[in-house]
Amino acid sequence: MLIRSSDNGFSICDATIARYISSTRSTTQTKNQTMRNYYVLFLLFFLLNTKISFGQSGFQLINAINKQALEIPSFTDDDSSELAALGDILKDKKVIGLGEATHGTREFFVYKAKLIRYLIKNHNLKLVLFESNMSGLDGLNNYIQNKTTGDLNTVIKQSWLFSIYRTQEVADLIEWIRIYNQNKPEYEKVRFGGIDMHYTYYIINDILKKTGLSKLLTQQQKDALINLNKLWQKGEPKLNSKQKSNYLALTSELYKLIKKQNIGDSSSIYKQDIRLLEQSIMFNNRPDIPANKIRDKFMAENIIWAAARTAPNQKVAVWAHNGHISHGLYRNYKAMGVYLKQKYKTKYYALGLLVGVGYARLWNSRSPTKDYQFYKSPLPNIKNTDAIEYTLKQAKYANFFLDLSSPALEETIKDFMSLPHMVRVAGAQVVPSEQDVNLKINVQKSFDGILFFRNTTEAIGI
C-alpha cells in the first residue's frame, strides 16, 4: 500500500483509495477477488490506524515543543524579547559554546553576534574565541583593543582567521566590539582569540616574531624552527615518526629554556606558544578520526588556558561547529565540549544551532580544480523522518530556542531528545545529498539547549 506523509500528519494516498473503491464497485469480480478486497480493506484500516497512532504521538511532541519553545522573532538588537530569558539561563555560566550546523549560515552568524553583544552588555562576557588559529590573531585583537587602526577587511584578511569566518557578519561583530572597547579601562575591554593549532607554519612565525620569546632562543634552536617552517612552504607536509620525535624534542628544550627565565606573566604566554607548536606537530599526518579526536582535546585545553586568564566572574564565548561544542560523543570520540563539561560542569553550556532548509556559504572539496572557492550552496530538503530537524520544522515558530537543561522540560520532549536521532552536521563543505551530512547523535547528551532556524541564507563573504 502507498502511504504518504505531510507536515500536518499522515494520510492514505487518494489515488490508492480511488482504485480500491473502484475495484469494490465492480460487478464482474469473482468471489476470490472479493475476498482479496476485504483483505485489502483490513490492511488499509490497520495501516491507517497505525499512522494515526504515530501521528497523535507526534502531535503531542510538537505541542510540547510549541509550549516550551522560546520564539526568536527577529535578528535585531531592538527586539530582545527572548534575550532576557536566555540571559537568565546563561548568567551563571563561565564558558558558553555557540555551535553551528554549517560554517556558512548567515542566520547562525547574525544571531550568535546578537547574543554575544547582549552578553557583553549585560552579563560580563569578556572573551570571544573562534574555531580558528590561536596563533596569528594578535593583529585582529589589537584592532579590537583600539591599539591599531586600519581597514577592517584588510586586517581580517591579513590575520589567520579561518576563511569560513571572513564574512560580513563576523566583521560587523568585530567592529561593534572595537567601538564598545573605546575609552574602556583595560580590565573592562573584550578580547578576541582562537582555539586551534592547525598550522605549524603560523605558530612558528608567531614564536619567531615575538621579540621577548625569540631572544631567549639559541641560534641553533632558531635554525631548527626555520628549517621546520621551510617544509610548509609548498603546503602542509606529512611528517614521519622520526621527524615528529626530533621536533617534539625541540619543544622540550624550549620548555626548559623558558622555565629558567624569570619573566613573570610572559612565561605563561610563551609556554602556550610552545604548547601550540607541540600540539600541531602531534596533530600532523594523522588519519581523519584520530586527527579530529586529538584536535578536539587540544582545542579544549587551549580554551581552558585562555579562560583561566579571565577573572572568575567574567564569561567566555566559544564560536565553533556543533560537533566541537557538543559534550557528547561525536563520530564515536570525545568532542571538545566533553572536556569543557568535565572541567566546568554546570558552568559550561553547549548551545547547538540547527538548520532546516535554505542555503549556506560553503566550499567544494570535491572540485577537480581544488580552488576552495565559496559558493551559495543549497541544503538538501529534510526527508528522513528520523532527522531531528524533520520534527523541529513542524513547530509553530520558524526560529526558536529550546532549553534542554530546564528542570521544567516536559517528559515528551525529554523522551524524544534522549534517543539518538539523525542531525545535520554540514560543516564548511558543499552538501551533495542529505545522507552526506546526517549523523546519529544523542541530542540530550550533546547540547544543553538548541536554536533552530527553519529557513536560512548564505553568509556574506568579504
Tens digit of pLDDT for each residue in 26-70? 444 445 555 555 554 444 444 444 343 345 468 899 999 999 999
Averaged pLDDT score across all residues of the chain: 86
Q: Comparing 81-95, 222-236, 264-278, 358-372, which segment has the lowest mean pLDDT?
A: 358-372
Instruction: Please report how the helices 200-209 and 219-230 are oriented relative to each other, as an axis angle in degrees rounded to 10.
Output: 150
Which band of pLDDT confidence, cut at 50, 70 and 90, is reported for residue 328? Answer: very high
Give the residue, 34 or 297, on which the prediction is more confident: 297
Q: C-alpha cell of 181?
A: 572597547
104 neighbors 456 (Cβ within 8 angstroms): no
Whether residue 22 has pLDDT greater than 50:
no
Q: What pLDDT is attached to residue 232?
A: 81
Whether residue 12 has pLDDT greater than 80:
no
Burial of 265 (0-12, 13-18, 19+ CB in 10 A): exposed
Q: What is the mean pLDDT of residues 227-240?
A: 85
> Could you give the CA distance from residue 443 to residue 421 in angstroms, rounded to a whole number?
7
Residues in CB range of 259: below 8 A, 6 or more apart: 267
Paired residues of 363 in beta bridges:
374, 429
Which band of pLDDT confidence, cut at 50, 70 and 90, is reported for residue 198? Answer: confident
Alpha-carbon separation of residue 158 from 178, 307, 400, 411 (angstroms): 17, 26, 36, 50
pTM of the model as a whole:
0.86
